Amino acid sequence: MERRNLGRAGLVVSVIGLGCSGMTGDYGVPDDVESVATIHRALELGVNFFDTSDAYADGRNEQLIAGAIAGRRDGLVLATKFGNIRGPNGERGGVNGRPEHVFKACDASLRRLGIDVIDLLYQHRVDPDVPIAETVGAMSRLVEQGKVRFIGLCEAGPETIRRAHATHPVSALQMEYSLWTRDAEDVIIPVLRELGIGLVPYSPLGRGFLTGTFRRRDDLIPADRRHAHPRFQEGNFERNLGLLETLDRIADANGRTSAQVALAWVLSRGPDIVPIPGTKHRSWLEQNVAAARITLDDADLKALDEAFPPGAASGLRYPEGQLRRLGI
């Protein structure tokens, strides 16, 4: 599989990664056996970039990955995160970017993952009460200690990115980015390219909406977290279905799935962009990986841009309070 550089410090990853958060909850029903099989299939297909967090299922996501990669560590790029505090049942407990927490969280993730070094450590959410230089300073010390190879940020604003990068080179910014979430294009992506930082889009398939595999709100189980997201709520959901018409048409014309076309669009946005579509099913993984071999022509790209201009989606990408806490 093709490789791409994230940042200028030497981090090289597969052109498509695997987001693992949904393997232990949030979306659908967990299935550990199929999740592990999906990770193994990803390795067979050349995927070497795997994304988790200590916040996903209170660390159980990291433990699941540890079991799946046992004896298969060579060549893998494991990314995890700290700072987004969750309770054992998913309760939100705020953000913690204090240096002492950075060290503690890193050691805990290393233990759960069963590894000696984290390849890419992100600050999951910026702590508004702690200067970013203090948090990144602690992350830099972890690099010096050999516990972390590269560092990243998630959902950070342009000035925060600049201050962080001035403290220690940032290799990647993880941010929601897809056909229906193009917030990063005006300010964030230009700053990343100025500084030489890669973009890792999470939810590049619009939390599954752009796959076209569910057309009714009732297709999601009651416990699915997407019910709390404005774009999936009554009224917005139905209006957003209209966005899929062009995507479906282009997919049909090219003999591809809607998900593959949506991922090909993200990949076309630049060689410094590496999406991490999440799945716990081998069949969806195989379709996603195949998107790396798709080149959309200019007419298709133009049609998608016109069908999905910035702000096209009905509803905010997060609940209002959660979005406000991002501080971007």
Pick from 149, 169, 176: nearest CA to 318: 176
Q: Which of 56, 122, 177, 202 is catalytic?
A: 56
Query: Is 27 assigned a catalytic role?
Result: no
Cα separation, 306 vs 246, in Å, equals: 9
Helices (H) and strands (E) in the chain, counts: 12, 11
End-to-end CA gap in the chain:
34
The SS3 of residue 323 is helix
In terms of DSSP H, where are the helices of the chain? 32-44, 60-69, 99-113, 132-144, 158-167, 188-195, 236-240, 244-254, 258-268, 282-290, 298-307, 320-326
Cα separation, 175 vs 154, in Å, equals: 6
In terms of DSSP H, where are the helices of 114-223? 132-144, 158-167, 188-195
Q: Which stretch of DSSP H or E encloses residue 51?
A: strand 49-51
DSSP string covering 2-17: -EEEETTTTEEEESS-
Distances (CA, A) of 277 to 20, 129, 203, 306: 9, 31, 6, 23
Cα separation, 32 vs 157, in Å, equals: 35
Q: Which pair of tokens denotes residue 58?
A: 């209170």
Q: Which pair of tokens denotes residue 145?
A: 């200690």
Cα separation, 54 vs 184, in Å, equals: 25
Active site residues: 56
